[in-house]
């Protein structure tokens, strides 16, 4: 009898819906809540998942924040993230609050509309 086993390890991304949080990059409040994990697959069927992480992504400026694992059940119930739920900022985009342009670097004025970015 000859048996060919097909197995592997892959990354899985699962969208858990939208939550509210005050973005530090653009002051937007609508975020996508994502679950990132690794999975062990046999014959392309996931057997188990491990290394679960939860992140939120700002829908306006695409800033990414990693959440504390202990806060996930509260966030899923309330659909709201507080600053103490954030473990670290993975990527913070700077966005002009007037025109929405992404600003790269430490500009004092927006390169697109010319308005003052920070006081």
The answer, yes or no, to whether residue 4 has pLDDT greater than 80, is no
Cα separation, 65 vs 57, in Å, equals: 7
What are the pLDDT digits (tens) for 6-48? 778 888 999 999 999 998 877 889 999 999 999 988 887 888 8
Judge whether 117 lies within some domain: no
Domain count, the chain: 1
Judge whether 119 lies within some domain: no
Judge whether 2 lies within some domain: no
The answer, yes or no, to whether residue 119 has pLDDT greater than 80, is no
In 3D, which of 106, 108, 12, 99 has the Cα closest to residue 60?
99
What are the pLDDT digits (tens) for 73-97? 999 999 999 999 999 988 877 777 7
Judge whether 103 lies within some domain: no
Q: Can you give the residue range of the structural domain that contains 75?
A: 7-93
Judge whether 39 lies within some domain: yes
Judge whether 116 lies within some domain: no
């Amino acid at each position: 009898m000859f048996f060919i086993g097909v197995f592997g390890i892959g990354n899985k991304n699962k969208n858990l819906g939208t939550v509210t949080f005050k973005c530090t990059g653009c002051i937007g409040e609508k975020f996508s809540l994502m679950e990132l994990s690794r999975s062990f697959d046999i014959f392309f069927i996931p057997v188990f998942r491990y290394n679960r992480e939860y992140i939120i992504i700002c829908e306006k400026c695409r800033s990414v924040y990693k959440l504390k694992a202990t806060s996930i059940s509260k966030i899923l119930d309330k659909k709201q993230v507080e600053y103490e739920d954030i473990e670290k900022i993975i990527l913070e985009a700077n966005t002009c609050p007037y025109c929405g342009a992404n600003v790269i670097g430490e500009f004092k004025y927006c390169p697109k509309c010319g308005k003052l970015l920070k006081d």
